[in-house]
Each structure stands twice: as structure tokens, then as C-alpha cells.
């Protein structure tokens, strides 16, 4: 923004840093953990990913909003929840959309969903700050009149408790069970109903993304989605061929207080179990490992991961601020995937049982289909179990 322009939005960090810019989207204020995402596409999917609950996203790519928004690219399956994300920070002003799929301007879409935005700041400098010093909590505020009580806003930013110990799954999970039969998107056809669905899968919704459900259907699964606090006995009563543990937000140890005991029962049942992201972390907890808060987390669509079971490297999409501690993995658990950025754990499997999980998002297709084999791997375990 120019030196003479009055700021209409700001970001106040817990360390006292104040960044001024122009407000976009909804008016108001929100606190959260500030992270950065390096993806150059998929901003609408990112903004509707329930895993971002409690976070303010800084986009490192400068052109956010140039393809507009549409109803097909929404990832949250819980329409009762407006969005998980607390706010967004971008470098350039939002331009008019230039894409044949655009149905609404991003600014209007943000307003409708109650998401506060800030544009016109040096996002590279903010990204470097997070990389060097780690995650930082903050407050984002938008007031068209530009009236801000910075000391009061700083006090609110410092009063936010942070994500460690916070269970956010209850804010994003579904309220009741439902069936899902929609398959993946096809060019000029959109989303079609799945056909020849041979396997029954129960997906536990910790903040599940729609495209995960579509990938399961495209792999031949008829999916029943259940709320996060559903008991293992009720899941097994549905007689599933396999159980899926979804992605989600917050501290896995906090959500694990009620989820981990049920996951243990599901593992002990002998049913194939497949987890992604938060589901991966809580499965690890259920198997005796530990999780830890990361320095800056992994948020982007360009993360190389090596699959030790095949020797191949895949380009993955990631979104997590907690990770499974490699050193804590018990002897009964094999590490199957590792990040080639920092060596952190990205996948496990339980020896002798059809149970595995990955830290990244195979459904997000950054490769674009490097990781889709994981859904086929899950189905193969189901077929072997039958």
C-alpha cells in the first residue's frame, strides 16, 4: 500500500509486530496461528480445508483470487461450518476473475463466508519471519474506517492460547452420519455418481475433505461418514470392510483423548484401517508413538516424500503443524514414508496387520496423481481381508 493510504486492515503478532494493509473480505477481527502456504494453485480448496481451523494463512503466491471461486472447489463437507480458517494474508489486491469456472469474485465469497483478509503487505518478509522464528500467534482485523486500538488488539493476540492442547475437531466434524457416493471430477463432466461400489467403508470425520471421499468412491468404495466421537462399537456394527481416519485441525493429542481409545479398538478388530493427516497422527498415538509441535509446519503443494516400500519419490500436498515423532515409533510400527525436506515422518504401517497411514494429502493431486496409489493400496487390503 502507498505511504499516504490509510490502512483498513492489520495483522498484530504476539511478539508486538504490527503489519498494516488493505482489508478484503469480511469486516471484524479474529485470532489464530499464523502460517504460510507455498501452493500456487488451489486457494479456494485451502481456504475451505477444515484442517486450517484456528489458523491465519499467509499465501506466498502473489496472485490469489485471479480465477475467482465456485461451488465445486469447496472442500469442507460440513456446510453448517462456514470455514475452518480464521483469516488470510495476501500480497496483491484481488483482481477480477479470469477463468471460465468462476462463479463469484473472491472478495464477495470471503464476505459471504465471514473470512477476514489483509492485502498489500510484504508476504515474503512475513514468511521469512515464520521460517526463522517458527509459528506465531496473531490477530487479523478489518475495519473500513481504519480505526484500530492496537494495544487492545495486541492484548487479545497475546491472550489467544495457541493450538497446543486445543481440540478443534468438534468445531468441524459432521453432526450426524451420512452416505457419500460422488466420485472424482472429470473434464467437461463434473462430478459423477460412483459405480460398481463393491466395498463398504466407514470414514470418521475429524474434518474430512470432500475430495478424499470422492477418491474413496472412485476406488470402488461406498462410504458412510460418521461424527468424530462415534464409538468403535457403533462403527463395527455397520459391518464395514474398512475404516478411514480423516484429516482435521488442532492438536492430535487433545482430540486423541476421546478418539485414540476408539481407534485402538478398530485396529484390534482386524479391519483394514487407513489414515490421513490428523488421522495418521492419532493412529500413531493409538499404536504407542508420540506427536510433537513443528517449528513452522508443512503447508504447500510441492513437498517431496519418499515411499520406502517402493523406493519412489512423490510430490505431495501437505497441511500440518504437528508431526509424529520418528524416535517414538515402537518396534511394532514400520516407517513407510519420510519428508525429503526435513526428514520428518510421513507414513507408517502396523506390522502384521492391514493398518497404515500417511501425513500428507494424496487426494489433493499436486503430482498430479503421484499419491493416488494409496487409495488402491487400501482397497487391496480390503479385498485381501474379504
Question: Can you list the positions of beta strands (E) in the chain?
Answer: 9-13, 18-25, 28-37, 55-59, 87-90, 116-119, 136-142, 178-180, 182-186, 190-193, 199-205, 221-227, 242-245, 273-276, 291-307, 312-324, 333-339, 345-350, 355-358
Measured in residues, the chain has a length of: 386
State how far the Cα of 346 lies from the Cα of 336, in Å rounded to an integer: 7
Using alpha carbons, select from 224, 238, 233, 248 the residue that is nearest to residue 173. 248
> From the CB of residue 6, how many other CB atoms can be counted at a distance below 10 Å?
11
User: DSSP for 3-53?
Assistant: TTSPPSEEEEETTS-EEEEEEEES-EEEEEEEEEE--SS-HHHHHT-GGGT
* Angle value at C-alpha 286, between 366 and 198, nearest 5 degrees: 55
Q: Which of 221, 337, 363, 372 is catalytic?
A: 363
The SS3 of residue 99 is: coil
Which one from 277, 280, 299, 314 is the annotated catalytic residue? Answer: 277
Q: What angle do CA 169, 167, 106 make, to 5 degrees?
A: 55
Of the residues 199, 280, 298, 361, only one is catalytic, namely 361
Taking the C-alpha atoms of residue 34 and residue 139, their distance in angstroms, rounded to an integer, is 9
Q: Please say if 277 is a catalytic residue.
A: yes
> What is d(CA 20, CA 304) in angstroms, rounded to the nearest whole number?
35
333-339 and 116-119 beta bridge pairing: unpaired
- Residue 363: active-site member: yes
Residues recognised as catalytic: 277, 361, 363
Amino acid at each position: 500500500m502507498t505511504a499516504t493510504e490509510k490502512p483498513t486492515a492489520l495483522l498484530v503478532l504476539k511478539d508486538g509486530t504490527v503489519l498494516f494493509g488493505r482489508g478484503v473480505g469480511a469486516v471484524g477481527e479474529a485470532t489464530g496461528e499464523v502460517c504460510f502456504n507455498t501452493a500456487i494453485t488451489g486457494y479456494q480448496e485451502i481456504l475451505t480445508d477444515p484442517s486450517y481451523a484456528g489458523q491465519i494463512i499467509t499465501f506466498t503466491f502473489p496472485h490469489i483470487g485471479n480465477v475467482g471461486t465456485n461451488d465445486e472447489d469447496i472442500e469442507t463437507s460440513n456446510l453448517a461450518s462456514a470455514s475452518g480458517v480464521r483469516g488470510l494474508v495476501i500480497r496483491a489486491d484481488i483482481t477480477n476473475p479470469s477463468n471460465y469456472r468462476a462463479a463469484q469474485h473472491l472478495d464477495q465469497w470471503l464476505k459471504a463466508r465471514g473470512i477476514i483478509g489483509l492485502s498489500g503487505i510484504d508476504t515474503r518478509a512475513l514468511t521469512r519471519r515464520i521460517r526463522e522464528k517458527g509459528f506465531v500467534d496473531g490477530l487479523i482485523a478489518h475495519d473500513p474506517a481504519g480505526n484500530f486500538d492496537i494495544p487492545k488488539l495486541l492484548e487479545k493476540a497475546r491472550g489467544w492460547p495457541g493450538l497446543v492442547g486445543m481440540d478443534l475437531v468438534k468445531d468441524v466434524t459432521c453432526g450426524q452420519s451420512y452416505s457419500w457416493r460422488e466420485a472424482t471430477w472429470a473434464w467437461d463432466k463434473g462430478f459423477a455418481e460412483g459405480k460398481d461400489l463393491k466395498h463398504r467403508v466407514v470414514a470418521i470425520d475429524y474434518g474430512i475433505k470432500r475430495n478424499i471421499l470422492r477418491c474413496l468412491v472412485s476406488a470402488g468404495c461406498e462410504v458412510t461418514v460418521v461424527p468424530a466421537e462415534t464409538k468403535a462399537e457403533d462403527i463395527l456394527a455397520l459391518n464395514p470392510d474398512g475404516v478411514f481416519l480423516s484429516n482435521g485441525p488442532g492438536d492430535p493429542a487433545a482430540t486423541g483423548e476421546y478418539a485414540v481409545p476408539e481407534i485402538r479398538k478398530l485396529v484390534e478388530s482386524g479391519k483394514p484401517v487407513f489414515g490421513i493427516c490428523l488421522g495418521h497422527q492419532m493412529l500413531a498415538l493409538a499404536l504407542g508413538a508420540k506427536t510433537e509441535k513443528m517449528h513452522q509446519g508443512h503447508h504447500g503443494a510441492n513437498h517431496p516424500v519418499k515411499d520406502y516400500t517402493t523406493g519412489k519419490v512423490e510430490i505431495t500436498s501437505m497441511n500440518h503443524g504437528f508431526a509424529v515423532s520418528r524416535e517414538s515409533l515402537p518396534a511394532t510400527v514400520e516407517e513407510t514414508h519420510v519428508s525429503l525436506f526435513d526428514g520428518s515422518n510421513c507414513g507408517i504401517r502396523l506390522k502384521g496387520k492391514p493398518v497404515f497411514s500417511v501425513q500428507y494429502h494424496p487426494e489433493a493431486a499436486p503430482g498430479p496423481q503421484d499419491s493416488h496409489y494409496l487409495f488402491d493400496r487400501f482397497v487391496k487390503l480390503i479385498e485381501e481381508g474379504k
